[in-house]
Amino acid sequence: MGSFGKPLALMAASALVVLALAGCGTGRTTSRDFAQPGAGLPAGSTVAVLPFENLTNHPSAGQIAADLVSTELYGLGLYRPVESSRVRNQLVAAKVDVEKLSDSSSAQAAGRTLGVDAVLVGSVSEYGYQHGLREEPVVGLNARLVRSADGAVLWASSQSEAGCGYFSRDSVNNVAQRVVSRMLDSLRAAGGAQ
């Protein structure tokens, strides 16, 4: 190589590394959202986040997702979220089968039992590490806001993300927090409070 060959080759190699890292900086995301036109809840309505149905091999994924959603819901300021431990205790006391809460009619009944305006129900479809050349954290969540009065689904969202990073590895929880944040941003954008 000539005197220009080595620096040029080094710059080309550096550019390839930067491009590879940039392409994997935030991971892959998928988002699907739906909002019922004009059917939102008034600001200050009470909302209970029910335990999420766990469709994964991670034993606590449903509870982790519900807790993350509850925490993020507090920050939105749209509604008055009911404390998650109170929700769990009331459901246990009322002998509600928490495994069947993802059904809209069951969610509506749970909302009436809890005495709230709406419930946020959901499921966790992915929570863990995806195996391949590298293990990447992956999270998939589905959620619906169900009005207690009539069982109407006011808002629904399906979000997933595969984390990535070559020099600093994402944790599953970091990816889950981003997914939940994006999910509830869609609730805010949908005019969550009327």
Determine contact, residues 176/56, Cβ cutoff 8 Å.
no
> CA quadruple 5, 11, 14, 15: dihedral positive or negative?
negative
pLDDT at 3: 58
The CATH number of 28-189 is 3.40.50.10610
Model confidence at 27, pLDDT cuts 50, 70, 90, reads low
CA–CA distance, 183 with 163 (Å, rounded to integer): 16
Task: Say if pTM beats, i.e. exceeds, 0.85.
Answer: no
In the numeric block, the tokens 């819901």 are attached to 73
Q: Where are the domains of the chain?
A: 28-189
* Residues 164-192: tens digit of each pLDDT: 755 567 899 999 999 999 999 988 887 65
